[in-house]
Amino acid sequence: MTDFNPNVLALAVLFALALGLVTVMYLAATYLGPKRFNRLKLQPFECGMTPVGSPREGGLNSRFYLIAILFVIFDIETIFLYPWAVSYSRLGLFGLVEILVFVGALGVGLFYVLRKGIVAWN
């Protein structure tokens, strides 16, 4: 037990505090938050579509899920581009070719999505 790292204890305490804070906030929102629905709260918000019921009843359009997946894909693209940009000088020509292949594949995907009309709102 001589190899104990005090940073492990600090990390465990940090995770315990974070989990405790999340639990307290969730319980406070669940039990203390008002649950009164009225006509104003049920109006369309940002998407412009009239609410058709709860998500459990199948009231949401599947197009929302497609848009969300596309957002995640292109968000991950930006996450991968940042480390490449930071280490570009060390990667050289090989890194440039690899990122061009990566961006090209995502560009083909974007062209396909636009061509199919998935992001075109009716």
Per-residue model confidence (pLDDT) at position 116: 83
pTM summary value = 0.46
Whether residue 114 is predicted with pLDDT greater than 80 in this model: the reply is: yes
| pLDDT tens digits along 2-52 | 677 888 889 999 999 999 999 999 999 889 987 777 777 767 666 666 656
Question: According to the model, what pLDDT value does residue 16 have?
Answer: 97
**Options 1.10.287, 1.10.10, 1.20.58, 3.30.70; which CATH number does 6-116 get?**
1.20.58
CA 63 from centroid of its chain's CA atoms? 16
Tell the burial category of 29 from Cβ atoms under 10 Å away from its Cβ (0-12, 13-18, 19+).
exposed
Q: How confident is the model at residue 61 (pLDDT cuts 50, 70, 90)?
A: low
More confident residue, 105 or 55: 105
Domain ranges across the chain: 6-116
Q: Which helix (H) or strand (E) holds 12?
A: helix 6-32
DSSP 78-120: HHHHHHHHHTHHHHHHHHHHHHHHHHHHHHHHHHHHHHHTTT-
Q: Residues 63-89: pLDDT tens digits?
A: 777 888 888 888 888 888 888 888 888
pLDDT at 56 over 60: no
